Amino acid sequence: MDDQLETAYEAKFSVLDMDVAKKAEGASKAAGPINEAEQKRQAELMKQASIAVQSALGEQASAAGRRVFFARHGERMDRVFPAWTRLSYTESGNYKPYDMNMPISM
């Protein structure tokens, strides 16, 4: 039984005996470029799907009454990482990277 499975697997997935220059047939042909009418049909379906998703999300958000609040982190680097500041800046205040993991300029 194992020999049959191994042989079937090799026959199904082996590319050694394939003629890659031969034209594709069957299902693999369907994976190629599509004609203009099919492209238009798919674009229209994508538009309809995005409109449906947006309308569903809009109704859901207004019904939930949720709000989004964005905040920016605003701490000073010299107070949070004083050792990094001492290593990264010269006495004259110019930035210099102290190893290869640091950005070249600020």
The answer to whether position 91 is within a domain reads yes
- Tokens 């190629």 locate to 32
Average pLDDT over every residue of 4-18: 52
Residue 28 lies in a domain: no
Domain of residue 101: give its range: 75-106
Which pLDDT value is given to residue 15? 54
Q: How many domains does the chain have?
A: 1
pLDDT band at 105 (very low <50, low <70, confident <90, very high): confident
Answer yes or no: are the C-beta atoms of 97 and 104 closer than 8 Å. yes
**Between 95 and 22, whose confidence is greater?**
95
Which position has the higher pLDDT, 3 or 50?
50
- What local confidence, expressed as pLDDT, does residue 16 receive? 57
* Single-letter amino acid, residue 99: D
The secondary element (H helix, E strand) that includes residue 80 is helix 77-80
Residue 30's pLDDT is 55
40 within a domain of the structure (yes/no) = no
- The number of angstroms, rounded, from the C-alpha of 43 to the middle of its chain's C-alpha atoms is 21
Residue 99 lies inside a defined structural domain of this protein: yes
Which residues, at least 6 apart from 24, have a Cβ–Cβ distance to it below 8 Å?
32
- Quick check: 10 pLDDT over 60? no
Q: Does 80 map to a domain?
A: yes
- Taking only the tens place, the pLDDT of each residue in 29-83 is 556 667 888 888 888 888 888 888 777 777 665 666 677 777 777 788 788 888 8
Give me the pLDDT at residue 25, please: 63
Q: Is 86 left (phi over 0), alpha (psi -120 to 50) or beta?
A: alpha
